[in-house]
Structure 1
Amino acid sequence: MTTPGRPRISLLGTSALLFEAPGAFDLPHQRRIWALAAAASRWPGIREAIPGITNLMLTFETPPRELDGLIAALNDGWDAAEGLAIGGREIRLPVNYGGEVGSSLQSVADHCGLSVDDVVSIHAAPLYTVFALGSHPGYCYLGGMDPRITMPRRQIPLQRSAGGSVSIGGSQTGVSASPGPSGWHAIGHTSWTFFDPSWPSPAALAPGDTIRFEIKQVIR
């Protein structure tokens, strides 16, 4: 049984474990996740320590015979974790807002009681931090979006969203690295490449990198 306010730990089959840490969706909390991931990656028997959004997945070299020691180490590590600041790169992404790919731009504006130009300027203003990679290869979860353009996720997901779609879902924004289904609202498009299996490191971005969206044009 999970104690309220304490991390939740669950097995993912016999080859992995998920550590979920309660707390705010913000950079200080995510930096604690990064710190725990860095520590856990050095523990015996751990193949990978993969940070997610307010969670951490550990994969095992072989299925562990007992978990009590690992669970205790995770809880102790979380309590002791101090924010790890990762010195990543700053990436500038030119974005075409609106148009066919960004067809939800007007819907976001209507929902938020803003003009299209307001939504674009608010969205492009922050320096976003890559909190984690996931969902599909190369996709980055970004933190730092202005709450004024929060948009509930789609009740009926799109069967296919274009690669490079700049979208809003809830209080988050992100960019699709490849075509696929999506429950988010696309407001623009960038032609930047986020994943290529032929690269030495196939994912172009990593946790700690930052993104600044640049307004290339607004297509009405």
Structure 2
Amino acid sequence: MAGGEAMTAKRIDARARFLPVGDTAFTVEFGDRIDPAINALVHRTAALLAEALPEGLVETVPSFRSLLVHYDPLRTSAQALQAFIGPLELEDDPRQAPSRIWRIPVLYGGEAGPDLAEVAAATGLGKAEVIALHAGTLYRVYVQGFLPGFAYLGDLPEALDLPRRTSPRVRVPPGSVAIAQRMSGIYPVESPGGWHLIGHTPLRFFDPAQSPPTLFAPGDGVRFVPVDADAHAAIAEAVGQGRYSVAKEEGPA
């Protein structure tokens, strides 16, 4: 392993606790905070169960710090599934680096990012500083939810940590790049929203005709790349014609 860092394996039941959720589900809770190491354990557990497919498992739903396990009570029980999951071993990976990093072009400010000036004023930064901070961060896809293809991207620099807008918008355009608290996100479709809009990308993040239907997957990395209006328009045209490939880079081995 790079850097000589060792990984330590521990049973899931030594790392997590099982909590009941009605009569057809339970959660495997790994912690009480948003943390990339905890989130990695959640997704590795989901991957193990997807591979093993124990009897009666219906689906798993990952969150920031826990995994919801749905089961068929006519085929198994919470006790049986927990007895299967508990002895499975997970390793601590000190690198916590994504293996796939997407590069997302963004036009910041103006009509594309109507809240950029307000964010700058609220944080005491210049607009260029806000852009540099936002685009200079490697984000982790923690979970997807709220809307199909909406990824919660952490961790936003502390200097940009702002509460949600006091007056949410009724309509947020698809492709809007937004921030709230320690998260960034991209609205995949038009919807209401209360996050601060600082930019726009012409890329598409949800297409039910594709497999998988979403661009991002949990555990991916995301970088935002500032572009000017001409580049934004050219990318939008290429996306509309189906001839744009989203750039990505490979993370550390």
Larger radius of gyration between Structure 1 and Structure 2: 2
Say which of 202, 207, 210 aligns to 1:196: 207
Say which of 33, 40, 52 aligns to 1:31: 40
Please state if 1:9 is matched with 2:19. yes
Name the aligned partner's letter for residue 210 of structure 1. Answer: G
Name the aligned partner's letter for residue 200 of structure 1. Answer: S
Task: Give, in whole Å, the separation in 2 of the partners of 1:8 and 1:120.
Answer: 42
TM-superposed CA distance for 1:10, in Å, is 4.0
Greater alpha carbon shift after TM alignment, 28-37 vs 50-59? 50-59
**Distance change (3 Å), C-alpha of 1:213 and 1:87:** closer
When the two structures are superposed, what TM-score results if normalisation uses the length of structure 2?
A: 0.73
Q: What pairs up with 1:104-183 in 2 under 5 angstroms?
A: 104-183=115-194
Task: Output the aligned Cα RMSD.
Answer: 2.7
Name the aligned partner's letter for residue 228 of structure 2. Answer: Q
When the two structures are superposed, what TM-score results if normalisation uses the length of structure 1?
A: 0.82
Unpaired segments of 5 or more residues in structure 1?
1-5
Give the match for residue 49 of structure 2: 40
The answer to whether the Cα contact below 8 Å between 2:56 and 2:76 also exists between their aligned partners in 1 is no
**Distance change (3 Å), C-alpha of 1:142 and 1:83:** farther
Task: Give, in whole Å, the separation in 1 of the partners of 2:33 and 2:87.
Answer: 20
**Distance change (3 Å), C-alpha of 1:10 and 1:82:** same
Task: Give, in whole Å, the separation in 2 of the partners of 1:118 and 1:141.
Answer: 22
Name the aligned partner's letter for residue 81 of structure 1. Answer: L
Task: Give, in whole Å, the separation in 2 of the partners of 1:88 and 1:133.
Answer: 18
Task: Give, in whole Å, the separation in 2 of the partners of 1:67 and 1:15.
Answer: 8
TM-superposed CA distance for 1:107, in Å, is 1.6
Give the match for residue 3 of structure 1: none
The answer to whether the Cα contact below 8 Å between 2:32 and 2:65 also exists between their aligned partners in 1 is yes
Task: Give, in whole Å, the separation in 1 of the partners of 2:39 and 2:217.
Answer: 13
TM-superposed CA distance for 1:101, in Å, is 3.8
**Distance change (3 Å), C-alpha of 1:35 and 1:200:** closer
The answer to whether the Cα contact below 8 Å between 1:52 and 1:132 also exists between their aligned partners in 2 is yes
Q: What pairs up with 1:67-82 in 2 under 5 angstroms?
A: 67-71=78-82, 81-82=90-91
TM-superposed CA distance for 1:86, in Å, is 7.8
Aligned length: 211
**Distance change (3 Å), C-alpha of 1:214 and 1:152:** same
Q: Which runs of 4+ in 1 moved over 6 A?
A: none
The answer to whether the Cα contact below 8 Å between 1:15 and 1:63 also exists between their aligned partners in 2 is no
Name the aligned partner's letter for residue 115 of structure 1. Answer: G
TM-superposed CA distance for 1:154, in Å, is 2.3
Task: Name the % identity.
Answer: 32
Greater alpha carbon shift after TM alignment, 129-138 vs 50-59? 50-59
